[in-house]
């Protein structure tokens, strides 16, 4: 396996990370339900959708123009709940593509005054807890109740069913000036993908047998990126790249 795959127009996120050297994709790079994507995320099966087809999670795509984006890969959309003022917050498609399938999502409690940088959701992963911080301040109005039973919506449907919280902005609104449009969000995701690739490549095994990396005792082959890097290292990389 080459240390890092050559870039192409629409690479599989795992090929871009260097975990697989080349992959022909028959899904038009739509990761939804892809067995390879499920395996490398450490999941046992494709996510349950209750008959609803989740949004495609294509690397570098999926940045709607109807919202703004923060540097920690969180989006902010005005009009959180239909017919009511306020903003809705969730993870962008780049963060959703890199996160493993969540085991849970801890709620912060309602109502509550939220400052910029406060944790609005703790995403529970096998590797540990990944905290999502508010890009703007406000009064917490509502948390997504669907995440209690289906935390996987955070990565399956980041812009629709997997939103995190609704806020009513209060006080200083200068934090909104730091948010960027979809074009800049795509450019930022491209730069951060490069950072992710370099960090992963630095820790990938150098000599990989044809059966793939395995445990130190020569046992069962490893198929999850977090297993290859180690859970702690993978979570550390996620926190650095998604900061």
38, part of any domain: yes
240, part of any domain: no
Based on the domain organization, do 207 and 225 belong to the same domain? yes
Based on the domain organization, do 20 and 125 belong to the same domain? no
Nearest to 125 by CA among 236, 214, 26: 236
Three-class SS of 154-216: HHHCCCCCCCCEEEECCCCCHHHHHCECHHHHHHHHHHHHHHHHHHHHHHCCCCCCCCCCECC
Query: Range of 126's domain?
Result: 68-182
3, part of any domain: no
Q: How confident is the model at residue 27 (pLDDT cuts 50, 70, 90)?
A: low
Based on the domain organization, do 101 and 137 belong to the same domain? yes
Q: Please, are residues 30 and 57 in contact by the beta-carbon 8 Å criterion?
A: yes
161, part of any domain: yes
Nearest to 141 by CA among 116, 164, 172: 164
Count up the domains in the chain and report the number. Answer: 2
177, part of any domain: yes
Annotate 70-119 with DSSP letters as a single string. Answer: -TTSEEEEE-SSTTS-SEEEEE-HHHHHHSPPPSEEE---SSEEE-TT-E
Taking the whole predicted model, whether its pTM rises above 0.85 is answered as no
Which of 1-10, 57-66, 68-77, 204-213 holds the top average pLDDT? 68-77
pLDDT in tens, 112-124: 889 999 999 999 9
pLDDT of 188 higher than 80: yes
Q: 118: which residues sit within 8 A by CB, 6+ positions away?
A: 133, 134, 137
Based on the domain organization, do 102 and 35 belong to the same domain? no
Which of 7-21, 59-73, 199-213 holds the top average pLDDT? 59-73
pLDDT in tens, 52-98: 333 334 433 479 999 999 999 999 998 766 666 789 999 999 999 88
Based on the domain organization, do 95 and 173 belong to the same domain? yes
The dihedrals phi and psi of 124, each to the nearest 5 degrees, come to -90, 115
Based on the domain organization, do 224 and 164 belong to the same domain? no
Please report the pLDDT score of residue 202 as a whole number. 73
For residue 140 the two structure tokens come to 């917490």
Please report the pLDDT score of residue 103 as a whole number. 92
Based on the domain organization, do 219 and 170 belong to the same domain? no
């Amino acid at each position: 396996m080459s240390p890092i795959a050559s870039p192409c127009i629409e690479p599989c996120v795992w090929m871009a990370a260097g975990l697989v050297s080349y992959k022909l994709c028959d899904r038009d790079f739509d990761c939804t339900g892809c067995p390879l994507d499920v395996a490398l995320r450490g999941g046992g099966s494709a996510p349950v959708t209750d008959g609803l087809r989740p949004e495609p999670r294509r690397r570098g795509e999926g940045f709607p123009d109807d919202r703004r984006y923060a540097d920690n890969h969180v989006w902010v959309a005005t009009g959180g709940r239909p017919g009511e003022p306020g903003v809705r917050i969730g993870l962008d498609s780049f963060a959703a593509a890199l996160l493993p399938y969540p085991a849970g999502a801890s709620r912060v409690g309602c109502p509550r005054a939220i400052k910029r940088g406060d944790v609005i959701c703790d995403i529970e992963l096998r590797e540990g807890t990944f905290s999502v911080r508010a890009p703007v301040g406000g009064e917490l109005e509502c948390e997504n109740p669907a995440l209690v039973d289906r935390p996987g919506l955070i990565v399956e449907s980041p812009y629709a069913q997997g939103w995190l919280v609704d806020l009513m902005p209060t006080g200083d609104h200068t934090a909104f000036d730091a948010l960027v449009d979809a074009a800049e969000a795509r450019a930022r995701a491209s730069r951060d993908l490069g950072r992710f690739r370099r960090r992963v490549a630095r820790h990938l095994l150098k000599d990989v047998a044809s059966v793939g990396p395995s445990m130190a005792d020569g046992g069962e082959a490893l198929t999850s990126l977090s297993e290859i890097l180690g859970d702690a290292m993978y979570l550390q990389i996620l926190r650095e790249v998604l900061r």
